[in-house]
Structure 1
Amino acid sequence: MEPKQIFKQHLAQTSLFPSALEIFSANGSIITDIYAKEYIDLVAGFSVNNTGHCHPAVTRAISRQLEKYLHVTVYGEWVQQPQCHYARLLIQNLPEKLNSVFFANSGTEAIEGAIKLAKKYTKRPSIVCCRNSYHGSTAGSLSIIGRDEYKMPFRPLIPGAKTISFNCIDELNAIRSDTAAVIIEPVQGEQGVIVADPAFLHELRKRCNQYGALLIYDEVQTGFFRTGTFFTFHASGLVPDILVAGKAMGAGMPLAGFFASNQIMNVLSQNPPFSHISTFGGHPLSCAAGFAGLTVLLETISPHYIQKKADLFRNNLVHPLIKEIRNSGLLMAVDLDDQQLVRPAIENALKNGVIIESFLFNKTSFRITPSLLISDDEILSSASLLKKTLNKL
């Protein structure tokens, strides 16, 4: 049986229309299929491969760690150098109040940990979230996403979630004395790159302070320089109480985490101990890869660098069918004039050698989230191929 047949018959499917691209290799911004056809990857594993596929610094770090040890025990029990070195590098580049990290395997897991941490620290039951937000697909994270159609088949979910409108200051009165935390994406990714208004964020921080609620930033998709700064909150100056990271955190390996102060984080270690545990969280291979990847980004990326790359896309993606391009750095949504064109655009772009993808909630846009190290020539080539694709729709 061929791999494609196995994929369709024996791997659980997540949609009725997988592209089923048969991968042979991936390097930088280029993916090669089993027929030796090359594709310019403008998705980067959904904002995972910010340093590109198989960056040599990352693969070297993995190889070195492979020779020492793989999994040795559950997270939080033994001193493992890859975890410690990566934690130090991360925290050196974060505000002082975010000086403790709990490593997880995925963004959804990190969201679950952040919710538990907020509830245990505040001893309060309620979490306020925003309409059209996406925080994951497990029961806890699903309870606080902002789209009912994704919740409905799995009800009842975790009680205590209150939903408010994104960027609506008037609805911040939902934050009250029973609120453990407010969770927000500073840029709503799956809604098609909708950026939080600075005035809304300022009032949100003020209201959380007033009622003693914790502010959680979900930067799973926006972190690691995707929007220009290390995390999006760095540009605003408003610091969350809990920060959630994932996707690019492992530079292509499974890794995520949530950050808080030692004072807040310490509640997970007592009353009872082991309040939140993970077998594979902070896997040494993932931490070694993440350390190498972040080192590359810190040496290479600046807000000006990201803006220049984003502008190159915007200036060269001009077409009658493109209604609007929204972006926060290299998190980009290309809005088409007709939502019926989005799926054909994605499928035909693939045939033309360019990988783009859809958004979960926004049906009129396709996503561009390339490697942050994509070359100018690759941007120009992919833009030309995308316009060729749109010409034939």
Structure 2
Amino acid sequence: MKDRSQGFDLARLIEERGAERYELHTRHLNHQLPRMLHTLGFDKVYERAEGAYFWDADGNDYLDMLAGFGVMGLGRHHPVVRRALHDVLDASLADLTRFDCQPLPGLLAEKLLAHSPHLDRVFFGNSGTEAVETALKFARYATGKPRILYCDHAFHGLTAGSLSVNGERGFRDGFAPLLPDTAIALGDLDALRRELKRGDVAGLVVEPIQGKGVHASPPGFLREAQDLLHRHKAVLVVDEVQTGLGRTGDFYAYQHEEGVEPDLLCVAKALSGGYVPVGATIGKDWIFKRVYSSMDRVLVHSASFGSNAQAMAAGLAVLAVMEDEETVANARRTGDLLRERLAALVGRYELLHEVRGRGLMIGIEFGRPSSLRLRSRWAMLQAARKGLFAQMVVVPLLQKHRILTQVSGDHLEVIKLIPPLVIGEPEVDRFVTAFTAVMDDAHSGGGLVWDFGRTLVKQAVANR
């Protein structure tokens, strides 16, 4: 049979049309994204990527301290993951027949459960938000209760269910009505007790370290919350979509606290290897057996592309690389070094207030300076829009030092560092040197930082 697709040449298409990337996006996708990138000077054209670096057409390298919002745990184009995907495509497996049981999902589940010995079963979806959606459904069905508790400033996804437990109003506005839910402050056990006494709580979903602002749950909170929930026949759902798979220097972030054993656990992002989207909801046997209680309910929760061979192969390759290359230990060691070197700068710069986090998940928080000269400039920024100073630091890090970072959330004066877990001392040196130069510039009262600040203030005022 003639291959009718033989005329399609992807490399040629990219070569011929690649220069139109921003125009195409403006016309056909989210038109505000190119506008925002242009305003920030982030409208770069990256030609290739490997490990923790990008390169532009001129051969300039850029250090990636963002990792695709945490997806690129092993960096870009890891050869082992890449080879596994080639191998699974070449195998021509009878994938997604839906009326058989392929080996790769079971093998990946087995590997994940080896890192979660108190959990028993896995459901594979396609993203972090799907993993959370699954956990919410399973918690409600297994307990027979409707309400989910979550924490202020949490981020658990943007589909309707996960949006219901998203603690940022800016994401929720205009999308109501959502699921019945209640927010409590991270660490507030008294609030948790009050809500549980109402008798309608299915569970609490919590990030061990919140991505928005990089705030860790207080010591002992997860363990005490778990005990309270179980007393009231509710479940603990731990969202490790960003913190899991070594990000915080342990395989899961909840493992930093002794005695914590979530009933449901959500992972995604880094499990993909940066190639094929994959999410997993890992849970206790009794929960899965209640949801899938009979053959009539065998498809009561499923995903069309869940457990596909490419995603499973990528996940298996990622876990093998993490073991072989001791990725978790590297994240802990390199994260400690980076955090210590940044924390040493706090006493040196009055605009720098705190450095916090675990492993290679680090928050750098800025705050009101003490000197009158800088205080007036800070007040001007805060009056225009909170979070502008952090953005003013992110921009010269990219423009002048070719380092990609992000502000940790809307209206937050926090930069979040979540680099690929494969970085080492050379990348720490490069970032700290660049960050020190930007701080020197900001405290001198001139230069690129404050020049760009005026642009941001005008933009913020114009958007009101």
Q: Is the radius of gyration larger for structure 1 or structure 2? A: 2
Q: Which amino acid aligns with 1:221?
A: Q
> Residue 163 of structure 1: CA displacement?
1.4
Distance 1:316 1:152, change over 3 A: same
> Residue 381 of structure 1: CA displacement?
1.4
| Structure 1 residues 27-106: aligned runs within 5 Å | 27-69=50-92, 72-73=95-96, 77-96=99-118, 98-106=119-127
Partner residue, 1:308: 333
Distance 1:115 1:313, change over 3 A: same
Give yes or no for contact 1:193–1:328 (8 Å, CA) kept in 2: no
Identity of aligned residues (%): 29
| Structure 1 residues 348-359: aligned runs within 5 Å | 348-351=396-399, 352-359=401-408
Larger relative contact order, structure 1 or 2 (CA cutoff 8 Å, min sep 6): 1
> Residue 147 of structure 1: CA displacement?
2.4
Q: Which amino acid aligns with 2:317?
A: A
Q: Distance in 2 between matches of 1:88 and 1:362?
A: 41
Residue 21 of structure 2 corresponds to residue 3 of structure 1: yes
Residue 413 of structure 2 corresponds to residue 364 of structure 1: yes
Q: Distance in 2 between matches of 1:162 and 1:14?
A: 32
Q: Which amino acid aligns with 1:350?
A: L
Distance 1:283 1:390, change over 3 A: farther
Residue 40 of structure 2 corresponds to residue 20 of structure 1: no
| CA distances 1:98-130 after superposition (whole Å, capped 9, x unpaired) | 111100111001111111111111111111111
Partner SS state of residue 36, structure 2: coil
Which stretch of the first structure deviates more once superposed, 109-118 or 379-388? 379-388
> Residue 284 of structure 1: CA displacement?
1.3
Partner SS state of residue 153, structure 1: coil
Residue 148 of structure 2 corresponds to residue 132 of structure 1: no
> Residue 50 of structure 1: CA displacement?
1.2
> Residue 304 of structure 1: CA displacement?
5.2
| Structure 1 residues 249-268: aligned runs within 5 Å | 249-252=271-274, 253-268=276-291
> Residue 14 of structure 1: CA displacement?
6.2
Q: Which ranges of 4 or more aligned residues in structure 1 deviate by more than 4 Å?
A: 13-16
Q: Distance in 2 between matches of 1:99 and 1:14?
A: 44
Number of matched pairs: 389
Partner residue, 1:171: 191
Partner residue, 1:387: 436
Q: Which amino acid aligns with 2:248?
A: T
Q: Distance in 2 between matches of 1:22 and 1:266?
A: 50
Q: Which amino acid aligns with 1:386?
A: F
Distance 1:89 1:139, change over 3 A: same
Partner residue, 1:235: 256
Partner residue, 2:393: 345
Which stretch of the first structure deviates more once superposed, 6-15 or 37-46? 6-15
Distance 1:138 1:9, change over 3 A: same
Unaligned runs of 5+ in 2: 1-16, 368-377, 379-386, 442-448, 450-464
Give yes or no for contact 2:390–2:413 (8 Å, CA) kept in 1: yes
Give yes or no for contact 2:322–2:328 (8 Å, CA) kept in 1: no
Q: Distance in 1 between matches of 2:94 and 2:248?
A: 33
Q: Distance in 1 between matches of 2:308 and 2:225?
A: 35
Partner SS state of residue 174, structure 2: helix
Residue 365 of structure 2 corresponds to residue 335 of structure 1: yes
Q: Distance in 1 between matches of 2:419 and 2:31?
A: 25
Q: Distance in 1 between matches of 2:147 and 2:313?
A: 37
- Within the candidate set 166, 170, 174, 1:145 is matched to 166
Q: Distance in 2 between matches of 1:378 and 1:9?
A: 37
Q: Which amino acid aligns with 1:335?
A: E
Give yes or no for contact 1:71–1:284 (8 Å, CA) kept in 2: no
Distance 1:267 1:285, change over 3 A: same
Q: Which amino acid aligns with 1:244?
A: C
Distance 1:83 1:343, change over 3 A: same
> Residue 362 of structure 1: CA displacement?
5.6
Unaligned runs of 5+ in 1: none
Greater fraction helix: 2
Distance 1:186 1:214, change over 3 A: same
| Structure 1 residues 282-297: aligned runs within 5 Å | 282-297=307-322
> Residue 283 of structure 1: CA displacement?
2.2
> Residue 148 of structure 1: CA displacement?
2.6
Give yes or no for contact 1:323–1:335 (8 Å, CA) kept in 2: yes
Partner residue, 2:423: 374
| CA distances 1:216-246 after superposition (whole Å, capped 9, x unpaired) | 0011010001011111122213010000111
